[in-house]
Amino acid sequence: MPNLSAKSEPLGGGKWWERPAIKENLQLTDQQKETINRIWTEYRKRIIDTRADIEKTYLDLENLMGKPAVDKQEAYQLAERLAQLHRQQAEQRIKMTIDIRQELSAEQFEKLKGMRAAWTKTLGEKRSKDPRRRKPTPE
C-alpha cells in the first residue's frame, strides 16, 4: 500500500487526484484528471464566494450585537441568512463530490474508498498514540 500520509490530508481537501500514490493506484486517465480538475475549480470558486458571504454576514451580526440596543428582527434575518449560506456551502461540497464521483469508474471509486478507510485508520492510530490527546488517568 502506498504511503498516503505524504501530505497532511491525502483524500480530503485539495487536489487528491494529483497525488502520485493516488494517481498510480486509481490509474486515472489524463481526461479524468482534467475533468475532475475543472469540476473542482468551478465548485471551489463558488465555495470561496459563499465562505466570503458567510464571513461578511458574521461581521454584520457582530456589529449589530455590539450595539447598545439590538434590533431583534434584523438579528433574526442575519441568523437566517447564515443558516442559508451554511446550507448552500454544504450543498456545493456535496454536489462537487457527486460530480467528481461520476468521473470515476466503479472500480476506481471502490479503490478510493479503500484508500480513504486505510488513511482514516492510520490517522486514528496516530492520534491515539499522541500523548497530548490522552486523557489523564484518575488518581
At 38-60, the pLDDT tens digits run 999 999 999 999 999 999 999 99
* Cα 121–Cα 86–Cα 53 angle in degrees, nearest 5: 125
At 73-123, the pLDDT tens digits run 999 999 999 999 999 999 999 999 999 999 999 999 999 999 888 888 888
Q: How far is CA 126 from CA 32, 37, 111, 117, 129, in A?
A: 33, 31, 23, 14, 5
Nearest C-alpha neighbor of 83 from the set 106, 61, 105, 109: 61
Burial (CB count within 10 angstroms: exposed 0-12, middle 13-18, buried 19+), residue 46:
middle
CATH T-level fold of 13-120: Four Helix Bundle (Hemerythrin (Met), subunit A) (1.20.120)
